[in-house]
Amino acid sequence: MLLEDKNAIIYGAGGPVGSGIAKAFASEGARVFLTGRSQDKLDRLAKEIAELGGRAETAVVDALDEDAVDEHAAAVADDGGIDISLNLVKRGDVQGVPLAQMTTADFTRAITVGITSTFITAKAAARHMSERGSGVILAFNSGSAHGSPMMGSTGPADAAIDTYIRNLANEIGSTGVRVVGIWAAGIPETMTLEAINSVNSQMQLDENALNGILAHLDSLRMTKKSPSLTDIANLAVFLASDRSKSISGCFVNATQMFAS
């Protein structure tokens, strides 16, 4: 197993991407520490993982609360160490609105929440990992910093995280800690009507419109097929494992929509 006896903290584990990656990590032997704001969601996920033979522990942790993150990270570090840290906290993105027409609050929220939660969680992991001389900090966004029209606050928020991850990797690489990101946009299993409508309350799409979006995304891929949640989870496993020990300071493009 690629992650046997590794300890992995996942912030925002209750969402679809977090759940998929948590299950993949656990299936590869990792003990997953699931954090989020909803104890019920975390408990349901932990139960699913346990039924599949994996190991999972839960804790309600606000990734924007530095003291809470530090306290939880210290507890995991004392319980075998932190080998993997992944932030998947929702940012409150707004899309489908021209930048010239967005409110300041809608524009800045995703940037502020995204870079703050990424900074707090990565910093906590980096301190403990650097002391041990090993570990992997993973980041995740849509890769929209490359210039995606009508993506609203998502592009600038992604850009802030991209830059931070690369700079952090350069600063702590000599301690043996890797920092790697994944670009993935439009994962079909995560694109529910509720999820899409949440980024723009004026959209309110129906099933036909959703199917049209998914088909359009497929057409934009280099392979003409969108990556599945399993594909993304397997990539996260690989990047977190020793098989990718030479990869750091970059983002792996799982979206296939533009050159990286």
Q: In the structure, what pLDDT confidence band is assigned to residue 199 with cuts at 50, 70 and 90?
A: low
Confidence of residue 185 (pLDDT cuts 50, 70, 90): confident
Lowest-pLDDT range of 29-33, 41-45, 107-111, 204-208: 204-208
Compute the average pLDDT of residues 177-198: 82
Contact between 37 and 112 under an 8 Å Cβ cutoff? The reply is: no
Residue 115's pLDDT band, with cuts at 50, 70 and 90, is very high
Q: What residues contact 164, with CB distance under 8 A and at least 6 apart? A: 115, 118, 119, 122
With CA atoms as reference, report the closest residue to 8 among 176, 29, 231: 29
Strand order in the sheet with 84-87: 55-60, 31-36, 7-11, 84-87, 135-141, 177-183, 250-253
248 dihedral zone (left: phi>0; alpha: psi -120 to 50; beta): beta
Q: How many Å apart are CA 57 and CA 31, to the nearest integer?
A: 8
Q: For 33-81, how does the pLDDT look when each residue is reduced to its tens digit (9 = 90+)? A: 999 999 999 999 999 999 999 999 999 999 999 999 999 999 999 999 9
Rg (CA), the chain: 18
3 state SS for 131-197: HHCCEEEEEEECCHHHCCCCCCCHHHHHHHHHHHHHHHHHHHHHHCEEEEEEECCCCHHHCCHHHHH
One-letter amino acid at 94 equals: V
Place of tokens 């522990």: 57
Cα distance between residue 189 and residue 181, in whole Å: 21
Phi-psi region of 60 (alpha: psi -120 to 50; beta: other; left: phi over 0): beta
pLDDT band (50, 70, 90) for residue 187: confident
Range list of β-strands (E), the chain: 7-11, 31-36, 55-60, 84-87, 135-141, 177-183, 250-253
Which of these, 259, 89, 125, lies nearest to 183 by C-alpha position?
259
Helices 229-240 & 16-27 angle (0-180, nearest 10) = 50
DSSP summary character for residue 228: P
pLDDT at 227: 86
- Mean pLDDT in residue range 21-28: 98
Q: Which pairs with CB-CB distance under 8 Å and at least 24 residues apart come from 210-216? A: 214/186, 214/188
Q: Which residues contact 194 (CB under 8 A, 6 or more apart)?
A: none
Domains and CATH numbers, the chain: 7-186+228-252 (3.40.50.720), 188-226 (no CATH)
- pLDDT of 131 reads 97
pLDDT over 90, % of the chain: 77
